[in-house]
């Protein structure tokens, strides 16, 4: 009997070691360092329920988050939407202790940082600054400490809309699948800028042989995503209300399609914002703010082009960002205007979404990331 009990205990201990928890990280426009700015929740992967784990104060407007490849560090755009300010900050997340600890901050090299990308080797961080259109590169120490920036590129030219495109506005910084290139959608210049990235040198960013891809004038390129097969890339255009599809090869983009993210009845004043692809590469999702507050769902055909499936209300106001978990079962949306985070279950066959669990109230919630530990 004792032997059987011992065997059972060993099995249970093994199961506990193998068990993985899914954590969800939120950033927000908190507008006050004394209030919570970064939040960590646990996702119940059976019921889709979010339960708070911890949070962090002491930073202002952590508007965008990204995680290190190993999930140990959380990097944030901070001092966003703050006059004459801008920074990037790092935190350590410990899933065993369920703690989030501030590490340090560095100046962002430009006003209103809006996007961060971490290199897979854990040694580099790239930040995009929206207001005056710039990008900064930082080395990362082994302990998650952000070193002072080693490069900062400023862009100036605008485009055809004087109200929105008086100058460059870098809206995201996205590594290619092999991490040898970085793409910078520039809403102000209607360009997708391209740079080589050599992680073994002190100044890793160098303009690519083809330095940019021209987008449709007045379209306002915003966020950018690669297909899991690495052959196609997709750019959501904030002002044009569309997704442009590109064939990708070794740092170059070849346009093959442009498709609306909105229903035909909507005319002008688009506010398209975020784009993600399901892990199996079968579906693309694109969020629309403004009057629609929905996600457009597309099936991805074998040649990389998109076919509209339908539109799903996000059950909140201003779906600025969203993300899909690594299993493809869940999609979570952050709404800064309604201050809500909403969890949806994905039908992996049809691509359609169904709200699950209760929405979580988070003041000014602006960004979301999901990670298994």
Across the chain, mean pLDDT equals 95
Q: Are 87 and 137 in contact (CB under 8 A)?
A: no
| Calpha distance 21→18 (Å, rounded) | 10
Percent of the chain with pLDDT over 70: 94
pLDDT for res 17: 44
The candidate with the shortest Cα–Cα distance to 42, out of 270, 285, 343, is: 343
Q: List, for residues 322-333, the tens digit of each pLDDT value.
A: 999 999 999 999
Q: List, for residues 266-314, the tens digit of each pLDDT value.
A: 766 789 999 999 999 999 999 999 989 999 999 999 999 999 999 999 9
Residue 57, helix vs strand vs coil: coil
Task: Inform me whether the pLDDT recorded for 19 exceeds 70.
Answer: no
Q: How confident is the model at residue 264 (pLDDT cuts 50, 70, 90)?
A: confident
Task: Inform me whether the pLDDT recorded for 155 exceeds 60.
Answer: yes
pLDDT (mean) for 207-213: 98
Q: List, for residues 67-81, the tens digit of each pLDDT value.
A: 999 999 999 999 999
The candidate with the shortest Cα–Cα distance to 78, out of 123, 40, 28, 36, is: 28
pLDDT for res 195: 98
| Calpha distance 32→61 (Å, rounded) | 8
Task: Inform me whether the pLDDT recorded for 255 exceeds 60.
Answer: yes
Task: Inform me whether the pLDDT recorded for 184 exceeds 60.
Answer: yes
Q: How confident is the model at residue 56 (pLDDT cuts 50, 70, 90)?
A: very high
Q: Domains, the chain, ranges and CATH?
A: 158-313 (2.130.10.10)
CA distance to 131, 161, 218, 291, per residue, from 166 (Å): 10, 7, 11, 25
């Amino acid at each position: 009997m004792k032997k059987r009990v011992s065997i059972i205990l060993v099995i249970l201990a093994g199961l506990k070691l193998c068990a993985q928890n899914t954590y969800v990280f939120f950033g927000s426009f908190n507008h006050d360092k004394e209030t919570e700015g970064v939040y960590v929740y646990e996702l119940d992967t059976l019921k889709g329920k979010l339960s708070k784990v911890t949070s962090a104060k002491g930073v202002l407007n952590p508007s965008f988050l990204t995680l290190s490849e190993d999930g140990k560090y959380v990097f944030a755009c901070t001092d966003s939407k703050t006059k004459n300010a801008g920074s990037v900050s790092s935190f350590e997340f410990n899933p065993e202790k369920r703690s989030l600890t501030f590490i340090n901050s560095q100046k962002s090299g430009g006003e209103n940082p809006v996007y961060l990308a971490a290199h897979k080797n854990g040694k580099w961080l790239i930040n995009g600054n929206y207001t005056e259109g710039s990008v900064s590169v930082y080395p990362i120490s082994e302990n998650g400490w952000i070193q002072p920036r080693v490069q900062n590129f400023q862009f100036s030219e605008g485009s055809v809309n004087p109200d929105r495109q008086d100058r460059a506005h870098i809206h995201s910084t996205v590594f290619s699948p092999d991490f040898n290139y970085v793409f910078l959608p520039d809403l102000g210049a209607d360009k997708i800028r391209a740079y080589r990235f050599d992680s073994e040198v002190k100044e890793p960013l160098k303009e690519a042989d083809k330095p940019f891809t021209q987008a449709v004038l007045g379209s306002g390129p915003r966020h950018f995503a690669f297909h899991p097969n690495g052959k196609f890339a997709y750019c959501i255009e904030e002002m044009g209300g569309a997704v442009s599809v590109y064939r990708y090869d070794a740092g170059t983009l070849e346009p093959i399609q442009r498709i609306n993210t909105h229903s035909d009845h909507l005319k002008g004043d688009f506010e398209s914002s975020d784009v993600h692809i399901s892990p199996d590469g079968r579906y693309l999702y694109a969020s629309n703010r403004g009057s629609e507050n929905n996600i457009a769902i597309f099936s991805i055909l074998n040649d990389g082009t998109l076919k509209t499936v339908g539109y799903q209300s996000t059950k909140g106001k201003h779906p600025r960002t969203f993300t899909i978990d690594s299993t493809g079962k869940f999609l979570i949306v952050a709404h800064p205007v309604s201050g809500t985070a909403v969890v949806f279950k994905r039908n992996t066959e049809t691509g359609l979404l169904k709200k699950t669990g209760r929405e979580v109230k988070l003041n000014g919630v602006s960004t979301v990331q999901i990670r298994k530990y």
